[in-house]
Amino acid sequence: MEADLIIKNTKIVFSSTIVKAGLAVKNGKIIAITTDENLPKADKIIDAKENLTLPGIIDVHVHFREPGFTRKEDFFTGSMAAVFGGVTTVVDMPNTNPPTLNIESFRLKIEKAKGKTYVNLGFFGGVCGENLDKIQELAKAGVLGYKIFMDKVLGKPLDDNSLIEAFKLIARTGLRVAVHAEDPKLVEQATLNLKKTGRKDFRVWVESRPSLAEAKAIEKLAFFSHKTGCKVHICHVSSKMGVEVLRKIKSQLSKIFLTSETCPHYLLLSFEEAEKVGLVSKIVPPIRFKEDKENLWYGLLDGTIDIIASDHSPHLPEDKAKDVWDAATGFVGVETSLPLMLTQVNLGRLTINHYVKISAENPAKAFGLYPKKGFIQVGSDADLTIVNLKKESTIKSENLHSKTRLTPFEGWKVKGLPTYTIVNGKIMMENGEITGKPEGNLILL
């Protein structure tokens, strides 16, 4: 049988091992994993030059800003940045304009995305105090999961009773809900007190969103998850206290529905480094201190934290050029996440196998994509990322591919880069050049 594509002279990386073997792809699926000599003939041959083949990277936390905020990013530019970063699948957040709170806004987002994405693209539906009656219809329409902000980002905040009700409704769908876990009352009170002082230094932003707010929220969410059977994903864990609460919960509860993520900026930047960068590095939750960073690594390596995600959230320069209270929160990350983490592999901070687990396998399992995605086996989707661990570069905003390119990692040297990004068997990026068309699939469960 002839294949559409073969990859030879490579080593395939799994979460538990590395195997020297070749791959054959036909009609977007992996059809053979065998020695190079036994690979079928193919229209297209990739000689990986002994580089590693990973399951395609899955980023379950991006803000591609469409519809409504397309001066910052859109599906075309965001997905292009993703494939340059070795990412093959993303899940887009619902805080757009209109927010994705009902079937009409969900269908609008789908229409906007058609024919514009280089990567596979799934969507979260938003949940707030005003749309609990829309949870079931969003599931039927095909969302990959839900997103809850504990404050008023999407609309009326959920009080405890409404949150429990939302969890019960989401549990019936079988989907997972991603939550921005910060106790809004603690944040509101800390912010009010600090604003009264007149302070506008960078540190005041960190103090306004204390670690206790994250830890308290995680504790509540875990309890509600346990009681309702709702699968919950904690977004962007940022603190030592948050990690410690998660570890305690996972050790004490026999039946746990909780997953969590952290991001490269929390693992690699401390407050002092972020302060030097200035308001470009302002994000929620804030980048905290060395002790937090070290404990996030412990949590990532011991399995307390399951997933690495980017929280790609681009803003215009003028959005950042304000005082510490008014400057926008967030920055690009979908293109830089893989090189930053491969650099850590090269430094010995984690193994390439563990990176595959947290960047592909675990995200796929958490959001219903496994084993079609997140794993390399016959029958799986041919979403593949070939990486050269020896290749070096320097992160420069001018070389990124998002519409707006502000990054706190400006000037960082990285070692380990994607050389091919293959989406559904089609080569989208080859050696730093776009080679495919925006033909990524829209993932509707």
Separation CA 400–CA 406 (nearest Å): 9
Please give, one letter per residue, the 3-state secondary structure of the chain.
CCEEEEEECCEEECCCCEEECEEEEECCEEEEEECHHHCCCEEEEEECCCCEEEECEEEEEECCCCCCCCCCCCHHHHHHHHHHCCEEEEEECCCCCCCCCCHHHHHHHHHHHCCCCCCEEEEEEECCCCCHHHHHHHHHHCCCEEEEECCCCCCCCCCHHHHHHHHHHHHHHCCEEEEECCCHHHHHHHHHHHHHCCCCCCHHHHHHCCHHHHHHHHHHHHHHHHHHCCEEEECCCCCHHHHHHHHHHHHHCCCCCEEEEECHHHHHCCHHHHHHHCHHHCCCCCCCCHHHHHHHHHHHHCCCCCEECCCECCCCHHHHCCCCCCCCCCCCCCCCHHHHHHHHHHCCCCCHHHHHHHHHHHHHHHCCCCCCCCCCCCCCECCEEEEEEEEEEECCHHHCCCCCCCCCCCCCEEEEEEEEEEECCEEEEECCEECCCCCCCECCC
Strands 145-149 and 413-423, sheet pairing: unpaired
What does each C-alpha distance from 163 to 93, 96, 148, 209, 338 come to in angstroms?
Answer: 19, 22, 9, 21, 34
Residue pair 122/367 in contact (Cβ under 8 Å)? The answer is yes
Separation CA 356–CA 13 (nearest Å): 7
Separation CA 15–CA 181 (nearest Å): 28
Separation CA 224–CA 319 (nearest Å): 36
User: Is 183 labeled as catalytic in the residue annotation?
Assistant: no
Q: Which of 59, 183, 292, 311 is catalytic?
A: 311
Q: Would you please indicate which residues are annotated as catalytic (active-site) residues? A: 311
